């Protein structure tokens, strides 16, 4: 996010655990050993009369907890690359040069307080990612449920996944934009800079005092354009899972390796299409944005005239190195949390019942 990841990062789901193909899994028939949760539901015969057990934990809670956990893990794993990407995007004085990434990292460590400086702005980034993913998957899962009910329980297609992603991304972006404004500014200037924010709270107060509510939602328009990134990614990801799931045998489920290549591949394809919105958003959220630019079109014009077309891809290398692994981690944590969190509660209830 500053806008990624949000608005993106960039999976599916409802009903604990909701199958990736967005169809409701029939309940497992009563038997001696319950089946493990699957990416796609097992085929049951017409003679079997499965009963629907009462879920031990709300589907919305599962979606939020899975997304929140995924956001925390992915943020902790890649924050220094996020700082590097931010500095590259906000560099308006020079055109892109070979070795810029190494020079920036070297200067940060040397001049701003050592390795610790690479984690400047971690807290707003951590809050924004965890809250953003939690809200995104909550909205996305509930929207898919609503669309599936509207279709009478039929499987959803790419256009439904795309629509759910767009609405979920816009809603999440609106809720979290103030966090990304402060995060961008904290990553822009080192701790020892006279204008650097001492904390996230200080940053929010300063932005509101100097630019009002408008300042807290600076960059929301290009961020909204970035929602397309998440929609493209999730449409590709859901379609890949749906096609792979349709070829599974009765007792098979998607593996972690399959989640890895599906999430990484969908992120690469979506990023190649939509990356330029990220430098534009970052420039609209920086300290001097109000003095430098009159609006979105002014940012686009000045960036192109002064720095050339490649300026719209500044930071793309560290961004790719950051987002692909973190997307893989995010989706792995999300998919597995969504499977095992309900199971944990079910096992706890069963244990309590046995003790009674």
Asked whether residue 140 is assigned to any structural domain, the reply reads yes
* 305: in domain: yes
pLDDT of residue 181: 92
**For the ranges 144-148, 266-270, 273-277, which has the lowest average pLDDT?**
273-277
pLDDT over 90 at 206, yes or no: yes
Confidence band, pLDDT 50/70/90 cuts, at residue 279: confident
pLDDT of residue 355: 56
**Predicted TM-score of the model (pTM):** 0.61
Residue 57's contacts (CB-CB under 8 Å, 6 or more residues apart) are 16, 341, 342, 345
Classify residue 33: in a domain, yes or no: no
C-alpha 249/C-alpha 251 separation (Å) is: 6
pLDDT score at 248: 78
Query: From CA 41, how far away is CA 25, in angstroms rounded?
Result: 5
Question: Does any domain span residue 280?
Answer: yes
Domain range holding 140?
Answer: 59-350
Total number of domains in the chain: 1
Which pLDDT score, from 0 to 100, does residue 278 have?
Answer: 84
Whole-angstrom CA distances from 233 to 52, 92, 193, 260 are 33, 29, 38, 14
What is the structure's pLDDT at 47? 46
Q: Residue 78: how many CB atoms within 10 A of its CB?
A: 22
Q: Is the pLDDT of residue 133 over 80?
A: yes
If one compares 356 and 201, the residue with the highest pLDDT of the two is: 201
86 vs 349, more confident: 86
Q: Classify 283 as helix, strand or coil.
A: helix
Domain contains 355? no
**CATH number, domain at 342?**
1.50.40.10
Give yes or no for residue 315 having a pLDDT over 50: yes
pLDDT at 9 over 60: no
Using a pLDDT cut of 90, give the percent of the chain over it.
Answer: 14
Domain membership of residue 272 (yes or no) is yes
Residue at 20 is within a domain: no
Mean residue pLDDT of the chain comes to 78
53 lies in some domain: no
Q: What share of the chain is helix, strand, coil (3-state, %, to 5)?
A: 70, 0, 30
Mean pLDDT of 40-64: 57
Q: Which residue has the higher pLDDT, 17 or 163?
A: 163
The pLDDT of residue 193 is: 82
What are the DSSP calls for 149-181, one per residue?
Answer: HHTTTPPP-HHHHHHHHHHHHHHHHHHHHHHHH
Confidence class for position 199, pLDDT limits 50, 70, 90 = confident
The yes-or-no verdict on residue 212 having pLDDT over 60 is yes
């Amino acid at each position: 996010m500053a806008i990624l990841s949000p608005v993106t990062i960039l999976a599916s789901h409802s009903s604990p655990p909701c199958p990736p193909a967005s169809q409701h899994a029939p309940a497992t028939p009563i038997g001696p050993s319950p089946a493990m949760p699957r990416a796609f539901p097992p085929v049951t015969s017409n003679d079997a009369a499965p009963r629907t057990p009462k879920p031990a934990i709300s589907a919305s809670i599962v979606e939020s907890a899975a997304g929140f956990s995924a956001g925390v893990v992915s943020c902790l794993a890649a924050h220094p690359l996020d700082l590097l990407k931010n500095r590259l995007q906000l560099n308006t004085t020079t055109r892109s040069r070979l070795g810029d990434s190494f020079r920036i990292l070297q200067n940060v460590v040397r001049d701003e307080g050592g390795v610790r400086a690479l984690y400047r702005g971690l807290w707003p980034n951590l809050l924004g990612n965890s809250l953003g993913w939690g809200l995104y998957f909550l909205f996305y899962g509930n929207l898919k449920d609503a669309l599936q009910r509207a279709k009478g329980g039929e499987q959803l297609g790419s256009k439904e996944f795309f629509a759910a992603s767009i609405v979920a991304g816009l809603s999440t972006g609106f809720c979290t934009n103030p966090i990304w404004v402060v995060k961008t500014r904290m990553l822009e200037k080192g701790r020892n800079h006279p204008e650097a924010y001492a904390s996230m709270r200080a940053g929010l107060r300063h932005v509101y005092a100097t630019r009002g509510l408008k300042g807290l939602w600076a960059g929301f328009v290009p961020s909204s354009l970035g929602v397309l990134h998440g929609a493209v990614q999730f449409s590709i990801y859901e379609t890949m899972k749906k096609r792979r799931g349709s070829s599974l045998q009765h007792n098979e489920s998607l593996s972690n390796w399959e989640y890895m290549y599906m999430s990484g591949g969908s992120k690469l394809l979506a990023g190649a299409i939509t990356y330029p919105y990220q430098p534009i958003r970052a420039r609209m959220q920086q300290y001097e944005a109000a003095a430098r630019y009159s609006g979105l079109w002014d940012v686009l014009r000045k960036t192109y005239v002064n720095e050339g077309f490649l300026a719209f891809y500044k930071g793309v290398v560290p961004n790719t190195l950051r987002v692909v692994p973190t997307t893989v981690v995010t989706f792995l944590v999300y998919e597995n949390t969504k499977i095992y969190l309900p199971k944990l509660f079910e096992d706890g209830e069963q244990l309590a019942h046995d003790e009674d």
